[in-house]
Structure formats: structure tokens, C-alpha cells
Amino acid sequence: MSTHSHDYFPQKPRDSHSFLRHFTTLLACGSKCDTGAQSVIAVTGSIDPGQKVRALIVAQNPHMNSPMGPISLKRVQKPNRSLDEVIARFPSPDLINHLADTWAALSAVDREATDYAKQLVSLEVFFLRRSFHKLSIHFRGIPGFAPEWEFSNKTKYDWSRILAVFLTGVGQSIEEVEQAREENLQKEMERLNFWCRYLYYFVTWKTGIVRDLLTKTNMVGTDNNDELTEFELETGGSTGAQVLRYLWTVVAWHATLYTLCNNRVLPKLLKDIEIGLVQVPRSPSSTLESCYSEKRCHSDNMFFDFVHSEAALMGLLNYYKHYSAQAGQDVGFGDPQRLQQIVQPLAEAGEAVIAVSEECRWCCDWLSKNLESQFTLPGTHGMIYPWDPLKVGVSELVLKKLEGELWNQLCVVVMASLALSIEPPKLFLTDESIPQLIRSLLSK
């Protein structure tokens, strides 16, 4: 994320990814019961001169045991609250109330006020508290953790020690927040914010010290952490580059707030913005999940699939761009006029930029390149997860093509496994016989 402020926001939807990405960072709080793809939030929007700013947000339905229902849209209303009133609210609201609080909090900040620095600190603490669970997961995923790092180039020692001090401060503060009683929680959150802010300053320092330290110096004595799939070590990537990616996620809230609040156009943008929220209902193939998970938190179990948020958003936009005119009335929408009023202008704006709170799964990334409409996503970590398509906006032809690509991916894995066997079987395979072979292997 860039730490430099700009005097304008992008004027075209495809160039608005900076604002959307920052906005998404503040919305994706996460909780102990939200993990993996089911906690992902997808956002798109349009920022056109002389027109109302529109933002469309798609997330999973948080009510696990609710019956499957139609796709419907809720308009987010900005409450008339001061910054102090927003900060004093319940720390773990549902998504639509967090959306409203985020809107109100950003609108209440006055960058010309004499106490602007104090307002900014209050805003930092507010979002850190709302996002504490996600912050702690990202921080604890840093490979090897700072005190264990060693660098082959001894001239980097002093800089590495400074980084270690900041990281140790963040780590200790996270533990103190987790153990704090309610009466001491605010004090501990302020201490955590202190260390996170200075870590942000150091990581984003324009001299590039941290970047060079981690990517141009050999790091040894590290352990990879597999808790976050989106940060698995890329092919040909270094451990230092992986650590740098983790650090960016830890300072993401501060980078976002400094970028947004230092933008002179933000107050005008927030005064004339229309925000719609779609929470995707459970898909038919995921009904087993309600039985299995009735008293458990959500998890990415291999048996449970659902419509991923970014896939649902692409399906909606593609539907209103290419299918709505010839479609019948009964397509499973609740209050279709309200949904159309928000989605149609975004669908017709051209290539849509979609900001996502995590890197995309393989199927969603593939879908973005194979629908009639064009989409820009933040990239993929290449993991294949259980996946359901939205029931509108994705044609059967596209789904058949996706099925073929998934068989190809599975074929690569199976054939690689067979190649590693001591006595590989003598198989004579054709393109037509491979799917049958794989099915027979999986059925054993």
C-alpha cells in the first residue's frame, strides 16, 4: 500500500483500486469464527466526476443456520455521530453496523482541526480494536519471528535489531491485550497502537531499509508458518520477501488511515456516496454444513462449499451487464429494483476493479478471466477450495469450461504423484481416458 497522499481520487472505475483496497482493509475485521474464504469481503465501486459515488460490498451471510434465501441488497445509512460517539460503540458489531461506523468515523475526522493528530490516534485504536483478531493472526504468521532471525551480512545487524525491537513490542502488546481486563483494555490497545504505528513508520520509510534488509540479505534460521494460505512461499520467492508481505498486512490499518485521512478529497467523497451490501445466502450444496457446524465456528472444511464473495460480486455484475434484459422475473432476487439501482450502473461502467480482503482462490481468479465482462482482481495464491457458482450471471458454458480446467489441475497432481511411485504403473492414457482414471483412483 502506498503511504503517500494524493490530492485526488481516481476518476475511472478501473483506476479506483487504491480507494477500494483501503476501504476494504477497514471493513475486513474478522473474528474467531470467521476463517479463510468465508471471511472474505469483496468491494467494487465507481468514482465518476459529477456523479454520486457508488460502492457495492459482498460478504458471506453471517447467520449460519438461516434458511437459504434470495439475494438481496441493503443500503447502508450513515449515522449522525461524532468520532467520540462512534469509538464508544460496541466493539464487535455485525458487518452492516461496522460499515456504518466506518463511514461515520472517517467522515468525522477533520484534518484542519488543531487536535487532528489526536483524532488520528483515536481512529487507529478504534480500527485496531475492531480488527484485533485478524491483526494477531497476521502477526503470529511471520516466519521465524524477529528474535530468531539472523542475517548473513553483519552490516545489517543494527537495522535488524531495530526491526526486532518493534516486532517484539507488537508481540508483547498483543499478548497483553489478550490478557487484559475490561478496565485496562483501552490502555493496552493504546500501547499496541504505539508499537504498530512505529512499525508502520519503519516498514514504509522511503529509504527502503526494511525492504532491502529482508529481500537483499540472506535470512537463515526461519520457520515457515502455514496458518495463512495467501502467504505461502511463492515459487522462486525468498523467505525475506514472504516476511515483508506479512509485515505489510500488520501495518495495513495504519497505512490505510494515513492515506485516506491525508486525502483532501475524502470528505467530499464521503458526503455523496451510496453504499450497498449484499450478504450471500448459503448455496444448496452447503446445507450439510449447518448440521455439522451447528455448535462450531466456520472453517474451510473440504466437504463444504459455498459461493465466494468475489465470485458472487462478479456474477452479479456480469448478470446486469449481459443477462438481465432477456432474463425472466424470477431469478432469486429479493427487492430486484433496489438491487438493480445500485448494481446496474457499476456493471455498465466497463471493466470493474474488485478489491478483496485476501488474495483470491484459484476458481475465482479463473472466473474473472472467463466471463463476458472483464474484471481486475488483486491476484491469487493458487489454492483450490470448495466452490459454488452464483445462480445468476455465470452461464452453463463457462461452468463446463471451469470443470474441464479443474480436471486438468487434478490430472497434473495425480500424474505427479504416480511419477514419484517406486514402480509406476504402465498406463496408456489419452485425453479422454484421464478423467475416468482419476475418478477410479478417487473412488478406491
Chain segment 49-78, per-residue pLDDT in tens: 777 788 999 988 766 545 456 788 899 998
DSSP H helices in 274-375:
287-292, 309-322, 336-347, 362-368
Q: 219-228, 285-294, 331-340, 383-392: which range is least confident on average?
A: 285-294
Average of per-residue pLDDT across 358-362: 83
Of 235 and 61, the one with more pLDDT: 61
Q: What is the overall mean pLDDT for the chain?
A: 77
Q: What is the pLDDT of residue 325?
A: 63
Residue 299 has pLDDT above 70, yes or no: no
- pLDDT above 90 covers what percent of the chain? 29
Q: What is the pLDDT of residue 326?
A: 61
**Does residue 173 contact residue 191 with C-beta atoms inside 8 Å?**
yes
Q: What is the pLDDT of residue 341?
A: 85
Q: 120-124, 218-222, 263-267, 306-310: which range is least confident on average?
A: 218-222
Q: Give the β-pairing of 71-75 and 150-151.
A: unpaired
Q: What is the pLDDT of residue 243?
A: 85
Average of per-residue pLDDT across 167-187: 93
Q: 203-207, 268-272, 338-342: which range is least confident on average?
A: 268-272
pLDDT band at 421 (very low <50, low <70, confident <90, very high): low
Residue 92 has pLDDT above 90, yes or no: no
Residue 424 has pLDDT above 80, yes or no: no
Chain centre distance of CA 415: 33
Average of per-residue pLDDT across 15-20: 67
Q: Supply the Cα-derived Rg of the chain in whole angstroms.
A: 23
Q: What is the pLDDT of residue 399?
A: 92
Q: What angle do CA 72, 73, 74 make, to 5 degrees?
A: 130
Q: What is the pLDDT of residue 241?
A: 82
Q: What is the pLDDT of residue 242?
A: 83
Residue 41 has pLDDT above 70, yes or no: yes
Q: What is the pLDDT of residue 441?
A: 56
Q: Residue 251, Cβ neighbours under 10 Å: how many?
A: 24
Q: What is the pLDDT of residue 40?
A: 81
Task: Round to whole Å and give the CA distance between 172 and 169.
Answer: 5
Q: Is 56 left (phi over 0), alpha (psi -120 to 50) or beta?
A: beta
Q: What is the pLDDT of residue 389?
A: 80
